[in-house]
Amino acid sequence: MIEDSPFVAAAPVLVPMPAERPYTYGVPPGMRVVPGSIVRVPLGPRQVAGIVWDGAVETVDAKKLRPIEEVFDCPPIDKAMRRFVDWIAQYTLSAPGMVARMLLRAPEAFDPEPWIEGLQRTLAEPDRLTDARRRVLETAEGGLAWTRSGLAHAAGVSSTVIDGLRAQGVFETVMIPPRPVVAAPDPSHAVPELMPDQKAAAEKLRAAVAADAFNVTLLDGVTGSGKTEVYFEAIAAALDNGRQVLILLPEIALTHAFLERFQDRFGAKPAEWHSDLPPRMRERVWRQVAEGGVRVVAGARSALFLPFKELGLIVVDEEHDPAYKQEDRVFYNARDMAVVRGHIGGFPVVLASATPSVESRVNASQGRYHRAVLSARFAEAALPDLKSIDMRRAPPARGGFLSPVLLEQMQRTLERQEQSLLFLNRRGYAPLTLCRVCGHRFGCPVCSAWLVEHRFRGQLVCHHCGHNERRPDACPECGTLDHLVACGPGVERIAEEVVGHFPDARTIVLSSDLLGGVRRLRLELEAVANGEADIVIGTQLVAKGHNFPGMTLVGVVDADLGLANGDPRAAERTFQLLSQVTGRAGRTGKKSLGLLQTYQPDHPVMRAIVSGDSEAFYEREIAERERAALPPFGRLAGIIVSAATRGEAESHARGLRRAAPQASDLFVLGPAEAPLSLIGGRHRFRLLVQGERRADMQGFIRAMLAEGPKLRGSVRVQVDIDPQSF
């Protein structure tokens, strides 16, 4: 008993809000809580779900203690997961409560799903036997428990027939447990014949899983080399060991084809987890993952926070993908956190990619990760022949963006009734609109960015804050009518050019802003895979993972696009994107071609792509990083300070810099205006902290924040450890 209070004990509870520590609550008599219990507690005027945490409680005034209201009837969050939450909070400098919040995102799941009343035939006979009734009785004969509607459906009668029989006591009622969201996968359902190098790689992975201890393997193989089949073997091994498996995928639109492939191999689909999942489904998946009913989850980065009962393997597919980085509230890279999760849980992690991140390549070469390599495409499929088109020598016709060389290959591809893909990583019609008379440019009122014209929608749109306005006919500055010009291409404009050249071809644009969202996108991707389009024009979402059997030509409209910004990661990103997108061609053994339109054909990235010599590219890139002491050879963090006025943001950033402690292995660069200096009306300044690999980055930044100016007014500070761009 706690003195002067009605409680038997006090417990620390982590609540889903920016709290640095768990709050203390009273445990009423008769209530049993353990670390990890999910509980309902009062928080101000609200009630929230929280997690009973580890460690001692703070001393509190017993009279002010508020009670834990309820312990939910669900499995407690296990110790590994609690350590994982603490670890991420500490590493990313986030409040543990905000990390816990990611774990508590399926509130209804905390109560068990109710069992359903089911029906079984008992010995009683109905008073009158109609045809319909006989069918029902025959169907119910087998001893299964049926739901009312299930039985009606199976017997081909209306539910009222069931009700009639029920009223006469023909059925015994039994309780049926909630239906599993997915059937159990069978590791030996359809074991593939693997090619020799696949076999070797699969053996490595199987051995890693058999060790049942933490280890990381980088599965590195060109697009189409059969990596998926290989890591499926690791999954089979983990399932055989009675462990659950998590597969992380970067893109939701991609999961559909993946789920089917998984089903072909294991006879059942994995459970899906991503933000588009309907709430009811989220709850069921969360619950069944916690109870162990779901054995395999395929999900977006947030799936890392599912409360697995016995997780024994994580596969991160397309591990290099920037989509794994969350840059909102808690800034984390799901690839890196998957490795941490494996380390804490003591199980293996597989990172798969045709174009691994420089970080993972270095980890492999320095022996921290194992490496399994697939060097050839599967079966008769050959990588496309790759060439650059020097746009200085073969420029497009006036007003166009496609070189005659590319157009000619498109014509030939059409004649062979094969598919072409044009890739341009820019949504909309044109990235800039200006007035030919006065030079006025349309910019976003609240961001330092130009408005992008979306001609299908008749709008000018800001890609950073979503601001949009109708495209006017007259210039708002000088009033001149019909003299606005679109500068530069987006996918819509390329589509216009293509239709002009090939009016009879079936042309389709694939971009994430398609009306109809993910659902429509899925259908369109399937249509392309089924050969229902001749020419596809797409943004980066077509670059990833898809298998388009009829695709034999890939044209990159502007291969230089990603190289323009000054980011040291630009070369790596461009190399990855161009390899992935050209890898969409030639998946079925037909001769195929990839063409890069570029003004810098001698750039190392273009050379690496054209020659297919990715090793040379990595060597060079790794050497440069090492020379500049950039990640993974050094440590880096960004601190973004934003505020309603430029002055506030800048002075706060300067104050932080002055507060930096003396350290021999870390130093601060900046503040400078952030790459996007204004977003949504907030002015942004950035500090970079750089230093040696072993330096205590977190301690250093924590000291800056503690010693620096107090947060006042509209000022916000975000810390980004291991930033994507630097």
Residues making up the binding site: 435, 438, 444, 447, 462, 465, 475, 478
| Identity of the residue, 190 or 211, whose beta carbon is nearer to ligand ADP in the bound complex | 190
| Identity of the residue, 76 or 583, whose beta carbon is nearer to ligand ADP in the bound complex | 583
Q: Which of residues 485-544 bind ligand ADP (CB under 6 A)?
A: none
| Identity of the residue, 226 or 631, whose beta carbon is nearer to ligand ADP in the bound complex | 226
Q: Which helix (H) or strand (E) holds 627?
A: helix 614-627
In 306-348, where do the E strands start and end? 311-317, 325-328, 330-333
The listed partner (Zn ion, ligand ADP, none) that binds 365, CB under 5 to 8 Å by sort, is: none
Q: From the CB of 352, what's the least distance to ligand ADP, in Å? A: 7
State how far the Cα of 336 lies from the Cα of 346, in Å rounded to an integer. Answer: 15
Residue 679: C-alpha distances to residues 243, 643, 645 (Å): 45, 10, 12
Q: What is the CA radius of gyration of the chain?
A: 29
Q: Is residue 367 left, alpha or beta, with left meaning phi > 0 and alpha meaning psi from -120 to 50?
A: left
The total of other beta-carbon atoms located within 10 Å of residue 23's CB is 20
| Identity of the residue, 263 or 459, whose beta carbon is nearer to Zn ion in the bound complex | 459
Question: Quick check: 369 binds ligand ADP (CB under 6 A)?
Answer: no
Token pair recorded at residue 326: 């969350």
Q: From the CB of 114, what's the least distance to ligand ADP, in Å? A: 41
Q: From the CB of 550, what's the least distance to ligand ADP, in Å? A: 13
The listed partner (ligand ADP, Zn ion, none) that binds 447, CB under 5 to 8 Å by sort, is: Zn ion
b/e map 235-272, b = 16+ CB within 10 Å: bbbbbeeebbbbbbbbbbbbbbbbbeebbebbebbbbb
| Identity of the residue, 546 or 625, whose beta carbon is nearer to ligand ADP in the bound complex | 546
Q: Which helix (H) or strand (E) holds 677?
A: strand 666-679
Residue from 76, 164, 226, 601 binding ligand ADP (CB under 6 A): 226
Question: Quick check: 560 binds ligand ADP (CB under 6 A)?
Answer: no
Q: From the CB of 256, what's the least distance to ligand ADP, in Å? A: 14
Annotated binding-site members for Zn(2+):
435, 438, 444, 447, 462, 465, 475, 478
Residue from 41, 136, 421, 444 binding Zn ion (CB under 5 A): 444
State how far the Cα of 699 lies from the Cα of 593, in Å rounded to an integer. Answer: 51
| Identity of the residue, 270 or 489, whose beta carbon is nearer to ligand ADP in the bound complex | 270
Contact flags string 204-223 toward ligand ADP, x per CB under 6 A:
-----------------x-x
Residue from 261, 245, 257 nearest 298 by CA: 245
Residue from 315, 374, 447, 596 binding Zn ion (CB under 5 A): 447
State how far the Cα of 554 lies from the Cα of 551, in Å rounded to an integer. Answer: 8
State how far the Cα of 112 lies from the Cα of 27, in Å rounded to an integer. Answer: 22
b/e map 335-360, b = 16+ CB within 10 Å: bbbbbbbbbbbebbbbbbbbbbbbbb
DSSP 40-97: EEEETTEEEEEEE-SSPPPP--GGG--B--EE-SSPPPPHHHHHHHHHHHHHHT--HH
Which DSSP letter does residue 184 get?
Answer: P
Q: Choose the stretch contacting ligand ADP; rule: CB under 6 A; options: 44-52, 226-234, 574-582, 683-691.
A: 226-234
Q: From the CB of 547, what's the least distance to ligand ADP, in Å? A: 5
| Identity of the residue, 447 or 609, whose beta carbon is nearer to Zn ion in the bound complex | 447
| Identity of the residue, 193 or 504, whose beta carbon is nearer to ligand ADP in the bound complex | 193
Contact flags string 401-440 toward Zn ion, x per CB under 5 A:
----------------------------------------
Report whether 48 contacts 304 (CB < 8 A): no
Residue from 82, 133, 204, 227 binding ligand ADP (CB under 6 A): 227
Question: Quick check: 462 binds Zn ion (CB under 5 A)?
Answer: yes
Binding site for Zn ion (CB under 5 A): 444, 447, 462, 464-465, 467
Binding site for ligand ADP (CB under 6 A): 192-195, 198, 221, 223-229, 378, 547
